[in-house]
Structure 1
Amino acid sequence: MKYLLIGTGLSLTGILLAIIIWDVHMISNVTSGIGFIFLIVACLFSGAFVNGDRMRANWANETKESWIQRNKIAWCSLIMAIPNFAIAFIFYYYLGY
């Protein structure tokens, strides 16, 4: 719940930043950019960008505590990306692109 609120706060900050610096039509670009940053962080920490041999080698050398920490970072980043994509989607169709 905490990370969902952090993601919502970041998307609201992105909305204010887009309105102040650029234009209302940049809201979907800014919030989706923030969402993509968190999505890339989630993919990096989950190991989605490595092949099977590398994943197996990482799994063999990793402790349970580091595996739990890495997966927690991946899930928290993904949860923070969700409100940003939702707000980008809403503003994308609200502004009539």
Structure 2
Amino acid sequence: MNLKLIIVGLLNTLCAVIYGFVTSDWDMVLKVIGVSALLPLLVAGLLSGAFVSGDRNRANYHSENKMDNDDKRKWIIGLVLLSAPNAAFLLVLIIIGLITY
């Protein structure tokens, strides 16, 4: 399952880059890749409890059973893997932009 999510992320990046070469609209490519990188990371952050206080996070952790906690962890890992190729390519584009600027 993990490899499939990385491949989906790579296909998304590849489609955006092909669109950029065909239309020369690199601003749209940056937007698509940026949203594809940040949206899954935002959802993973919400699932992990990164945006709540420590007391609430501890209460949520103790109110879940092990199966729910394992399922949530699988979703978080999957979302991070889905966004990883997009985030890596976005970082490369930003570095190239900074070097050429």
User: Which residue in the other structure is 2:11 paired with?
Assistant: 9
Distance 1:16 1:63, change over 3 A: same
In the alignment, structure 1 segments of 5+ residues that lack a partner are: none
- Secondary structure of the residue aligned to 2:43 is helix
**Which region of structure 1 is more displaced relative to structure 2, 55-64 or 25-34?**
25-34
Q: Determine what percentage of the aligned residue pairs are the same residue.
A: 29
Farther-moved stretch of structure 1 (82-91 vs 39-48): 82-91
Counterpart in the other structure of 2:48: 46
Unaligned runs of 5+ in 2: none
Q: Distance in 2 between matches of 1:21 and 1:42?
A: 32
Whole-angstrom distance in 2 between the partners of 1:57 and 1:21 = 50
Corresponding residue to 2:89 among 87, 90, 97 = 87
The change in CA–CA distance for 1:94 and 1:56 in structure 2 (over 3 A counts) is closer
Which residue identity lines up with residue 25 of structure 2 in the other structure? D
Partners of 2:23 and 2:64 in 1: CA distance: 45
Corresponding letter in the other structure for 2:76: A
What is the CA RMSD across the aligned residues, in angstroms? 2.2
Q: Determine which of 44, 59, 62 is the counterpart of 2:61.
A: 59
TM-score (normalised: structure 1): 0.81
User: Structure 2 length as normaliser, TM-score?
Assistant: 0.78
Shift of 1:21: 7.0
